[in-house]
Structures are given as structure tokens and as C-alpha cells.
């Protein structure tokens, strides 16, 4: 079961990151081109939000069944264990919180530019945080 969850978490990450990147790029294009915020733009943001929340759910399950998660929590002197047991989950939780805040705040706005700006800022910050705390060495193992 652990192997399946770990592979799903790693594989789903590609889709979640791609959707998040598309949402950020779409928001930046929306700001710079001064276009109207449409249902398509809302769906792009929503799909990214859903994908990233599924990734969070699978990641939490993985954290509690993985030997690199909760069981290794006290191993702060080992950089690899510290990354997978503390830094990766904590920073990604913060990133997903920012993305969720961006989604919630955009719904209260009327102006298209402001909606795109919320997506660009909050989804962009979330994307950057996720990218800096990915365990890249685990992604590119032989």
C-alpha cells in the first residue's frame, strides 16, 4: 500500500504542478492583456485548487504510513529526513493555505484585474513555495 500511495503522490504532483503553473500564467496574461475574467479563468483556478488539495490529502496519508514521514520526525541532523518529515509537509501546507486564500478572496472581487491579481499573487507564492521544498532528489532517483 505504501508503494502505491507514494507513486500516486509523486505522479499526481506533475499534474497538480502543471495546473498550478497554468493558473499562474493565465492570471499574469489576464493582468497584462487587461481581458475580462471569464468562467474559463475561474475553472482554471478551480482545477488547480482541486488538484493541489488532492495532492495534500494523498500527502497526509503518505506522511502517516511512510518511514520517511512521521517516524523520522526527530531526525533534524539528517538533511534528507528533515526535508521529508518536516520541511516538505510544513512548507507545502503553507503554500496550499495561500492558494486557498487566493481562491477565497478572488470570489469577493468584482474587477477582473483584481481577480487575476489575487490568483497571480497567491497561486504564484504557493507555486514558488512548493517548488523550493520538493524533494527533487527523490524525483530523479535511478
Please give the model's pTM, rounded to 2 decimal places: 0.88
**Whole-number pLDDT of residue 130:** 95
**Whole-number pLDDT of residue 108:** 94
Q: How confident is the model at residue 142 (pLDDT cuts 50, 70, 90)?
A: very low
On average, the pLDDT of the chain sits at 90
- Residue 48 contacts residue 99 (beta carbons within 8 Å): yes
Selected residue with higher pLDDT from 12 and 70: 12
The C-alpha atoms of residue 110 and residue 18 are separated, in whole angstroms, by 27
Selected residue with higher pLDDT from 120 and 6: 120
Amino acid at each position: 500500500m505504501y508503494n502505491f500511495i507514494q507513486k500516486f503522490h509523486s505522479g499526481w504532483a506533475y499534474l497538480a504542478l502543471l495546473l498550478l503553473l497554468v493558473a499562474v500564467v493565465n492570471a499574469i496574461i489576464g493582468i497584462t492583456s487587461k481581458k475580462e475574467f471569464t468562467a474559463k479563468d475561474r475553472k482554471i483556478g478551480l482545477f488547480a485548487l482541486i488538484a493541489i488539495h488532492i495532492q495534500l490529502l494523498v500527502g497526509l496519508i503518505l506522511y502517516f504510513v511512510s518511514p520517511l514521514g512521521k517516524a523520522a520526525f526527530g531526525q533534524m541532523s539528517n538533511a534528507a529526513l528533515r526535508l521529508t518529515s518536516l520541511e516538505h509537509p510544513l512548507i507545502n501546507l503553507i503554500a496550499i493555505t495561500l492558494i486557498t486564500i487566493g481562491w477565497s478572496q478572488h470570489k469577493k472581487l468584482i474587477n477582473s484585474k483584481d481577480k487575476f491579481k489575487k490568483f497571480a499573487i497567491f497561486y504564484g507564492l504557493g507555486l514558488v513555495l512548493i517548488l523550493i521544498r520538493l524533494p527533487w532528489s527523490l524525483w530523479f532517483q535511478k
